[in-house]
Structure 1
């Protein structure tokens, strides 16, 4: 990943609350179970859960798609989301692409800036709805969101209720150490771009298409996740056009993304955890499917090629 040294970074797109010391009040115990997250119409979250003991990664939490009219069962009320005030000094440290090339935090800022620049351009070209930026929140230990409370065991996730991406950077060490992914800067970029793919789906209303089909090899949940992988590839194809990179990504960069995608396929996770694969419980797709759809996006660079809801996947 070769950043343009002169590219101007916009650190306001990233909020750093890692040094705030803030913890959810009255919560404790970290991330509530899937059933404890709010599921009423218009709230909820898509999570990438890093559950080391169970070897589950990129797990889709039941999401309140607007087409879900079934009343949810009684659940513990999630604490209200606080007003998050950046506690880091990203604005001082992350000013140009040269900073992004030398510092991990600034690299995250640069990746986020590039992804959102692309989608703003793509929405403008297609006309109609304008792209609404989504901030990325860097956290550690605990963070309270409009989708519930997350602790350090939670990896990157997108919360539709507050339209933010939440990121604990320790996830990337876990992905490499415990799940065999190659790691590296572009693995980070792939994961972040995947989460912003969910934001795009939220803006376009695509989440509604998954309905209550939240599990299974051809479920709406799987199709939603594979489309987010495809959207990540689309951004990678167009990244140079955003002005943050001087040259297209190398094959080594793309291999990092493919390695991360393969490491978190449902079949790979299940085989490692239980020694067998049960497609009826898939939520994100197989390793092959995840690699395939990222590659489709990267090859064509066109969001229209990411229609995972039509035909086979």
Structure 2
């Protein structure tokens, strides 16, 4: 259990992942090791196919059409979320973490505002979601689209896929994944997210952007259990370790080894396991987003 208190959660900016979203193509920023650069390799590792690569939306098609029954049920479920349910239910945990992030970041970063597009939760069985960055299948994994400022999470990924990859589906590990994607939103606000396009390989802009998002997740964790009205109970080492386990599992080198390949630094896009742990820990230990400058020197 990580959340404390009782009562309803603010669900005004959280909804099911079905339907909606703009059309077009932009930069999809992946989290949890599943991003547009390395997605083919990982989806092959998980499912034996590369069908999860995001595609450009086509007018009148994609997930922007009819809302499925599963989406309707998810929307109803989200509206019923309480702090108590956040300790046992994945969707409500995503809602509660969203609430906490939008409560903590304004105290850390002047000018912070919640993502305009909010948080989208794809229920198990959902096929795709349409955002301004294109149509992403359920296999894409958690991501943030800066064009419409939306953070997307799949229940199946949070509950099962991350564990299959060697990570943890413990509550705080799931919260770390949410916090990482919101780290990309912080980057969107401060202007560093565009650096993801610079270069390729182990020292590329993509790697530096992902590591900074890990660091920002650590900054949130450093503040989320402190002060009057903190939503999280004081975090213990076991909870922090669950996030570290997930950070290790989604490093580029670990993912490639698990796929039966020798790690190739020239193909890295998210950082090694050691780097991801290092930068999450940096944020958590300092609690200062200004200590998350991954764009200077060697990461």
TM (normalized to structure 2)?
A: 0.81
**How many angstroms does 1:275 deviate by?**
3.2
Match of 2:2? 2
Give me the whole-angstrom Cα distance separating, in 1, the residues matched to 2:210 and 2:112: 23
Moved more, 154-163 or 133-142: 133-142
Partners of 2:96 and 2:192 lie apart in 1 by 27
DSSP-derived class of the 1:15 partner: strand
Q: CA deviation at 1:209?
A: 3.2
CA distance in 1, matches of 2:87, 2:57: 42
Q: Distance in 1 between matches of 2:214 and 2:274?
A: 12
For residues 65 and 99 of structure 2, the distance between their equivalents in structure 1, rounded to whole angstroms, comes to 22
Classify the secondary structure of the residue corresponding to 2:280.
Answer: helix
Partner of residue 161, structure 1: 147
Offset, 1:99: 2.8
Instruction: Confirm whether residue 16 of structure 1 aligns to residue 2 of structure 2.
Output: no
User: Given that residues 17 and 84 in structure 1 are in contact (C-alpha distance below 8 angstroms), is that contact kept between their aligned partners in structure 2?
Assistant: no
Q: CA deviation at 1:226?
A: 0.3
- Residue aligned with 2:142, SS: strand
Write out aligned runs for 1:34-49 (5 A). 38=25, 43-47=26-30, 48-49=34-35
CA apart distance, 1:91: 5.7
Contact kept? 1:7, 1:244, Cα under 8 Å: no
Partner of 2:296: 310
Whether contact under 8 Å (2:202, 2:266) holds in the other structure is yes
TM, length-normalised to structure 1: 0.78
Contact persistence 1:55–1:269 (CA under 8 A): no
In structure 2, runs of 5+ residues without a counterpart are 48-54
Give the CA RMSD over aligned residues.
2.9
Q: Which residue of 1 aligns with 2:182?
A: 196
Q: CA 1:158 to 1:76, structure 2 compared with 1: closer, same or farther past 3 Å?
A: closer
Name stretches of at least 5 consecutive residues in structure 1 with no aligned partner.
Answer: 28-36, 57-74
Taking the aligned partners of 1:165 and 1:153, their CA distance within structure 2 comes to 15
2:221 matches 1:230: no
CA 1:52–1:77 in 2, change beyond 3 Å: closer, same or farther? closer
The alpha carbon displacement at 1:121 in A equals 2.0
Displacement after TM superposition at 1:92 (Å): 4.2
Partner of 1:283, secondary structure, is coil
Counterpart for residue 263 of structure 1: 249
Aligned to 1:53: 44
Match of 1:171 in 2: 157
Contact 1:55–1:272 (CA under 8 A) maintained in structure 2: no
Q: By how many angstroms is 1:76 displaced?
A: 5.8
Helix, strand or coil: the match of 1:228? Answer: helix
Give, in whole Å, the separation in 1 of the partners of 2:142 and 2:59. 20
Rounded to whole Å, the distance in 2 between the matches of 1:185 and 1:10 is 19
- How do residues 118-267 of structure 1 correspond to structure 2 at under 5 angstroms? 118-124=104-110, 129-134=111-116, 135-139=118-122, 140-172=126-158, 173-177=160-164, 179-213=165-199, 215-241=200-226, 243-245=229-231, 247-267=233-253
Distance change in 2, residues 1:102/1:143 (3 Å): same
Quote the Cα distance in structure 1 between the aligned partners of 2:237 and 2:287: 16
1:114-159 per-position Cα deviation (integer Å, ceiling 9, x unaligned): 01211122223xxxx3424351101222211111111121211101
Question: Residue 52 of structure 1 aligns to a residue in which SS?
Answer: helix
Contact 1:123 1:131 in 2 (8 A): no
